[in-house]
Amino acid sequence: MGALSSTTKLGIIAGGGALPALLAAACRAEGRPYYVLGLTGFADAQALGQDADQWIRLGEAGMGFERLRAADVSTVVMAGSVRRPTLAELRPDFRTAAFFARVAGRALGDDGLMKAVIGEFEREGFKVIGPEDVLADLIARPGCLGTVRPDAQADSDIALGVTAAHELGRLDIGQAVVVQQGLVLGLEAIEGTAALIQRCAGLKREGPGGVLVKMKKPQQDRRADLPVIGVDTVMQAASAGLLGIAVEAGGSLILGSDAVAAAADRLGLFVIGVAAHD
């Protein structure tokens, strides 16, 4: 775990997946006080390993800011998956509506929206940090995580995938692509990585399987929505007939690297950290 230099209470804005629970566990291990603000419909108590201190809808920013201040939180971290809601689902309170009024007219992809959200937290006086500031050991490192290595065809597919993911990210569309035998089978958009993998399972060609490549968007704020993989990603890739997974070294998070390596070795997949384009 990364060293936690501050003893100030950390506010964990919790979406879905395992990352919020890892952040909470790191705080407990270091004796750092923390407060979990769970996003209804995304986070769940079972994944968190505890109940949230407060549950809010995405449209309840005003309540969220009030509860964080009441809990004496000044530093926050956003972690976990969140699907972009429709306005009907959002049902924004006054504070959330004011935020959307400020960003009205801008064509915001996920990265643009997250930058705007970070700006709102800072406007309210909160310091925003990234998960890697708490859990530095989650950052993907160069090279293979397990014992399986990509062959020459997979290396070529990874190179194409890095190029495709870079352009996809530059347009603020998604972070992941699937490439097989020199062909891009799929690009991630709003559906997310798991759905991308499942979709590409029905598009695969005969012969050696493809590669999932996940890269940080070139312009991305590192404090939110870095590419993430975990054991579930490895299992999904194996079920889809992929040969392996490549993630950006220094720009992606691996949840439970030992477990990911063990799962990849057991299933015969490679997991590798690769460099991004300049």
Instruction: Please give the pLDDT value at position 109.
Output: 64
Whether the predicted pLDDT of 177 surpasses 70: yes
Mean pLDDT throughout 105-122?
Answer: 74
Q: Give first-to-last CA distance, the chain, whole Å.
A: 29
Candidate from 76-85, 156-165, 188-197 with smallest mean pLDDT = 76-85
Mean pLDDT throughout 175-194?
Answer: 94
pLDDT digits (tens, 9 = 90+) for 43-66: 888 888 889 999 998 888 899 999
Q: Percent of the chain having pLDDT more than 70?
A: 92
Candidate from 56-60, 71-75, 141-145 with smallest mean pLDDT = 56-60
What is the C-alpha to C-alpha distance for residues 213 and 272, in angstroms, rounded to an integer? 10
Instruction: Please give the pLDDT value at position 278.
Output: 60
Instruction: Please give the pLDDT value at position 161.
Output: 97
6 versus 8: which is more confidently predicted? 8
Q: Quickly name the fold that domain 10-134 has.
A: Rossmann fold (3.40.50)
Residues of the chain with CATH 3.40.140.80: 139-274
Q: pTM, whole model, 2 decimals?
A: 0.86
- Residue 156: pLDDT band (50, 70, 90) is very high
Indicate the average pLDDT of the chain.
90
- Residue 4: pLDDT band (50, 70, 90) is very low
Q: Percent of the chain having pLDDT more than 90?
A: 67
Strands (E), the chain: 10-14, 34-39, 54-56, 75-79, 127-129, 143-144, 176-180, 183-187, 211-214, 228-229, 244-248, 253-254, 270-274
100 versus 155: which is more confidently predicted? 155
Instruction: Please give the pLDDT value at position 3.
Output: 43
Q: Quickly name the fold that domain 139-274 has.
A: Cytidine Deaminase; domain 2 (3.40.140)
Angle at 66 between CA 64 and CA 72, to 5 degrees: 105
Task: Give residues with Cβ within 8 angstroms of 127, minimum separation 6.
Answer: 74, 75, 76
- Looking at this protein, which amino acid is placed at residue 34? Y
Q: Are 42 and 81 in contact (CB under 8 A)?
A: yes
Residues of the chain with CATH 3.40.50.20: 10-134
Instruction: Please give the pLDDT value at position 90.
Output: 72
- Residue 241: pLDDT band (50, 70, 90) is very high
- Nearest Cα residue to 18 out of 78, 80, 77, 76: 80
Whether the predicted pLDDT of 2 surpasses 50: no
- Residue 104: pLDDT band (50, 70, 90) is low
